[in-house]
Chains A and B, each alone.
Chain A
Amino acid sequence: MTDPKVFSDATQMAGTDETMIELSGVDKFFGDFQALKNINIRVGKQEVVVVIGPSGSGKSTMIRCINRLEVHDSGRIVVGGIELSDDIKNIQEIRKETGMVFQQFNLFPHLSVIDNITLGPRQVLNLPKGQAEELGKELLVKVQIPEQANKYPGQLSGGQQQRVAIARSLAMNPKVMLFDEPTSALDPEMIKEVLDTMQELAESGMTMIVVTHEMGFAREVANRVVFMADGEIVEVGTPEHFFDDPTEDRTKLFLSQIL
C-alpha cells in the first residue's frame, strides 16, 4: 500500500453507486504470519469483482473474513450496511445475506439435493416446507439440473454438485455471493458449466466476489479485477487495464507466468 493512486483506485466502484461491501484497513494474522495487510476495498451493488493472485496471497482469507468464517484482527468490514462485530446477531444477519460457494462444494452428503437447498430457507427463514421446496425446484431449474432433486450429492458429478451448491446459496436470497475458487476442484470438462452458471448470475445483477484462476472468466465477466500478493492488494482495475496494460511490476510478472 505504498502508492496512494492504487489505493484510491481500489475503492473506486463499478456497478451502481451504492456500496454493498466495504473493507477498510483489514489485517489478519495466523499466529505470527500476517495473512492480510491493510486491505481496503469497496464493492458496489451489482458489481462483479474477480480476485486473482498466486496461492498463499490471502485471496481466500479475504473473502472468508467477509462472512466471518475467519475473524479479522483489525479494521472494519461492512456488508449491506451491517458492520461485522463479535455480536452473534450481526454475524448471523450478514451470513443470511451472503452466500458462499466453496472449492470442495461442501454439500451435506446425508441430505438429498432438494433438502440441501431447502435446509437454509426452512431453518433460518422459517419458510414452510412446501414453499421451500417450490423455491428449491425453481433454483434447480435455474442451474439446469431439475431432474436431480432427489439424488444425493455423492451420486452427482463435480460440476453438478457445484451447481447445487450455488443453488443452495441462492435459496437464502442473498445480496452478495462469495466464490472461493469454485472451479479448482473440478475436472476440466465441467468447469465451463459452472462458469456459465456464474456468468448468468452476474448478468442477473448479483453482487459477486470471485476468487478464481480462470482468467477467461475474469476478462469476460468482471467489472474489476483485484490482484493480490503476499496478503496485500497490489493492483485494482478494469479487466482491460489489468490484462493489457498493468501498472505494477508484480502484476506483470504474475501475468507473464500464467499467460
Chain B
Amino acid sequence: MDTTAATPVEKVSVVVAPRRSGPRVWMKKNLFSTWYNSLLTAVFGALIVWVVFRLGRYLINVDTEIIRVNLRLYMTGRFPSEQLSRLWAAVFVTTAGVGFFARAIVRNGRRKAAEAGLGFERSNWQDVVRRFWPIGALVVFTLSFTETITPTLLTLVAAAIGVAAYWLGAALPTWMVHRSWAIPLVGTLMFYVVLAGFGGVGWDLWQGFFVNIVLTIAGISLAFPLGLMLALGRRSTLPAVRYLSVTYIEFLRGVPMITLLLMGAFALGFLIPGDFQFSLFLRLLIAITLFQAAYIAEVVRGGLQSVPHGQVEAGQSIGLSPWKTMRFVVLPQALRNVIPAMVGQFISLFKDTTLVFIVGLLDLLRAVQISTAQPEFFAQGLEAVVLPFAAVYFWVGSFVMSRESRRLEKKLGVGVR
C-alpha cells in the first residue's frame, strides 16, 4: 500500500557545455557588459574607494579616550562603585543560568528524539560560535576599552562559570530538566536578590546599557503574555472581553510611545496614592510593556487569522474543548507563522528602550550624551565617536535577534504543508 515507493529514475546523459570562468570573464559579464554599466562601475568604484579611505583614516586617527574614561558610565551609569561586586555577581548568576538552561534544553531535545525513535543532532560548539559570535565580539570590543585587567579577568571567570554550569547540567536530576522553564525564573529571582537584596542597589539605580538590556528582557517577557491574552480576548465570544481588548489595543496603538513614557514619568505619580509610589524605572517598564503589548496583540491576531478554519473543525471533531483547540492546534501554528513579525517587534522594543532617556533615565544613549558635555570633552565633536559606539551595541543585539528568529523559523518549519 505504500505509494511513496520510488520509481527508478532513468539515467539521462547531459552534455555539459564547457564553462568559461575566471575573474576576467566574471568582471566582463557583471561589471563591464555595456558602456553604461562600465560607467556605473567606474563611478561607484571610485565612491567606494573614497568612502573606505575616509573611514579607514578616521578609524585610525580616532581618539577613543572619551570612551575609555567613561566606559563604566556607559555600561552601568551611576551604579555605586562600592557595590560593583554585586553587578559582577549578577553577571555570574546570568552565565550560570544560561549554562544550566542550555544543557536542560539539549537534554530535553535528546529525550524527545529518543522517545520518537529518531536520531538527535546536538549542535556542536562551532554552531554555537556561529550563532553568538557577534555577542562575543561585542564583549571583546568593550573590554578593549578597559584600563585595568580586572574586567577582563572577571569576564573570563563569568565565561568559565557558564561553561561549568553547562557541564554540570549533565548531573541535574531528570525532574528538574523536565521543568526547565523554572531555570530562567529562579535565575531572574537570584539575579534580583544578588543586585538589590540585603542593602544592595535597587532598580532605580540601574542605569547605562545595563538598563537597556533589563528593560528589553523584562519588556518582552511581560508584553508577550499580555499581548497574547489581548489577542485571544479580541477573538473572545464574550462581548465584554472583546470590547475591552479592542478598546485597549486601539487606544494604545493610537498614542506615541513617548507620550506614554512621559505619562509614566510625570503623570502616573499623581494617580497613585503617596504610599504606593514606585520608582521611575518601574513606571517606565510598565509604560513600555503596556505599549508593546498592544502591538504584539495585533501580530498574534494576524497569526490566528492565518490558521485555516479547517484546523479548528478538526480539533472540535475529535472532541477538544475550545480552549484546548486554541492551545494545542491553533496557537502553535499561529505563533510559528508570525515569528518574523514578532521578532521585528522585539527588535523595535530593544531600540525603543533608548527613548527612556527623554524622561531622565540614564541609559546608554543618555550616558554618551552626558560624556560629551564633560569639561574635558566638551565641544570637540566627539558625538562622532560616541554615537557610533552606542550604535554598535544596539546593532549587535538586533542582529543576533534577527538571526535567531530565522533559525527558529527554519527549525519549526519541519511540518510546513
Contacts and interface: CB of A to CB of B under 8 A. Distances in A.
B321 interface: yes
Contacts of B417: 109, 153-154
Interface stretch (A13-21, A29-37, A94-102, A216-224): A94-102
A92 B321 contact: yes
A67 B329 contact: no
A159 interface: yes
A146 B267 CA distance: 65
Interface in A150-204: 150, 152-154, 156-157, 159-160, 168-169, 171-172, 189-190, 193, 196
B318 A169 contact: yes
A139 interface: no
Given A108-B329, A109-B333, A95 B4 contact: no
Contacts of A68: 316
A154 B417 CA distance: 4
Interface stretch (B44-52, B93-101, B209-217, B306-314): B306-314
A113 B336 CA distance: 19
B316 A69 contact: yes
A152 B317 contact: no
Given A154-B416, A154-B417, A193-B3, A124 B314 contact: no
A168 B3 contact: no
B319 to A, nearest CB: 4
B1 to A, nearest CB: 5
A87 to B, nearest CB: 13
Interface residues of B, number: 30
Interface in A114-129: 114, 119-120, 123-124
A189 B320 contact: no
B1 A110 contact: no
A106 B318 contact: no
A92 B319 contact: yes
Contact of A111 (B317, B318, B321, B415): B415
A120 B320 contact: yes
Contacts of B3: 157, 159-160, 189-190, 193
A172 B316 CA distance: 12
Contact of B336 (A110, A145, A152, A172): A110
B318 A119 contact: yes
A152 B318 contact: no
A128 to B, nearest CB: 13
B319 A172 contact: yes
A102 B310 contact: yes
A210 B311 CA distance: 21
A154 B412 CA distance: 13
A42 to B, nearest CB: 22
A109 B416 contact: yes
A90 interface: no
Contacts, number: 94
Contacts of A107: 314
Contacts of B251: none
Given A110-B332, A145-B1, A189-B3, A172 B318 contact: yes
A144 interface: yes
Contact of A123 (B4, B117, B320): B320
A104 interface: yes
Contacts of B311: 106, 108
Contacts of A189: 3
Interface in B313-370: 313-321, 324, 328-329, 332-333, 336
A193 B1 contact: yes
A144 B415 contact: no
B12 interface: no
A12 interface: no
Contacts of B333: 108-110
Contacts of B317: 67, 69, 95, 98-100, 102, 169
B313 A152 contact: no
Contacts of A109: 333, 415-417
A68 B316 CA distance: 9
B284 to A, nearest CB: 37
Contacts of A100: 313-314, 317
Contact of A168 (B1, B313, B318): B318
A216 B286 CA distance: 66
Contact of B313 (A96, A106, A120): A106
B2 A152 contact: no
A145 to B, nearest CB: 7
A238 interface: no
Nearest to B321: A92
Contacts of B416: 109, 154
B112 to A, nearest CB: 10
B246 to A, nearest CB: 25
A112 interface: yes
Contact of A120 (B116, B118, B318, B336): B318
Contacts of B336: 110
Contacts of B318: 95, 99, 119-120, 124, 168-169, 171-172
A98 B1 CA distance: 27
Given A110-B332, A119-B318, A160-B3, 12 more contacts: A67-B317, A92-B319, A102-B313, A102-B317, A106-B311, A106-B314, A108-B333, A110-B333, A111-B415, A120-B318, A120-B320, A189-B3
13 contacts: A69-B316, A95-B316, A95-B319, A98-B317, A102-B310, A106-B313, A108-B315, A108-B333, A109-B333, A109-B415, A119-B318, A145-B2, A149-B116
Interface of B: 1-4, 116-118, 308, 310-311, 313-321, 324, 328-329, 332-333, 336, 412, 414-417
Smallest CB-CB A-B distances: 10 pairs = A120-B318, A106-B314, A152-B415, A100-B317, A96-B319, A106-B310, A124-B319, A154-B417, A95-B319, A109-B415
